[in-house]
Structure 1
Amino acid sequence: MSPTTQPREEPRPQLQSCVCGQRTGAHPGLPASGAEQDPADRLLLRAQWFIAEVPLVKVNLPAHTPGCDADAAKVACDYPKYELNKVVSTKFANSGSPAYSLVKRFTWTNQDQDTVAGYIAKDNMSPDSAAQKWIDANSDKVAAWLK
């Protein structure tokens, strides 16, 4: 590039923020098939059935550090790492209830969540019907929780 040549600026797409859930219509502007080539930025938490349906690329953001997200208008970092905890009352834990054993044994993967959410969002199943379909297809996992 010569000193008099300026780089050509590409037109930048107008991006909109959307705080959305996992239900149908929660990802406005993203095609259901992923076939459209328009650029789209979305900040999506994993797990979501939608991620399994549309080819997306994760953009690595700077690691979370204390205070990097203090000003919502200027967040310049990724989400903090976190572990989900199973929390129950001491009274329940000490009750001897078989339900407490179920809580301790219960595991739920991103794929499990994506599957049930997809039944609800894409297949228009009720939450109860979606849960029963998942249980029927995963009786070994459920049996391990109940033993």
Structure 2
Amino acid sequence: MATMITLPSPPFFMILFLIVLLPSACRCTGPDPLQDFCVADMKASISVNGFPCKPVYEVKSDEFFFEGLAKEGNTTNVFRANITAADVLAFPGLNTLGISMNRLDFTSGGVNPSHSHPHATMAGVIIKGKLLVGFMTTANVLHSKVLEA
């Protein structure tokens, strides 16, 4: 006499599939960095991902700190504004991290000329006064607001 074998219902297989494979999908991230840090070797030429790394034994503590953003910039120019950049050129410890910071100082009537930041984000803090800020979408829609400290 033949024995009849019954397979579990399709929902059982779906639940089993989710239990087994879903946790592995949660681990699909980029690889961990190969180094703790990569201080820019300013004597070398720029490569695809920034400057090459300085040998660890040549790294100095000062390369991880930048005091330039604490000082007001000179606004006696045609734009009546000043931008102090804290990028890898001024702050070698930022190399390969994909970030930079700027300090913008404006005097009354100051202007920051139109510019773009492809694949970048910008945030700001108003310390004193009022400033009209905004951005233009790819559909040519202007979003702006006057911010006040």
Same fold (TM over 0.5): no
Kindly indicate which of the two structures has a greater share of residues assigned to helix.
1
Kindly indicate which of the two structures has a greater share of residues assigned to strand.
2
Query: What TM bracket, shorter-length normalisation?
Result: under 0.3
RCO (CA 8 Å, sep 6+): is it higher in 1 or 2? 1
**What TM-score, normalized to structure 1?**
0.22
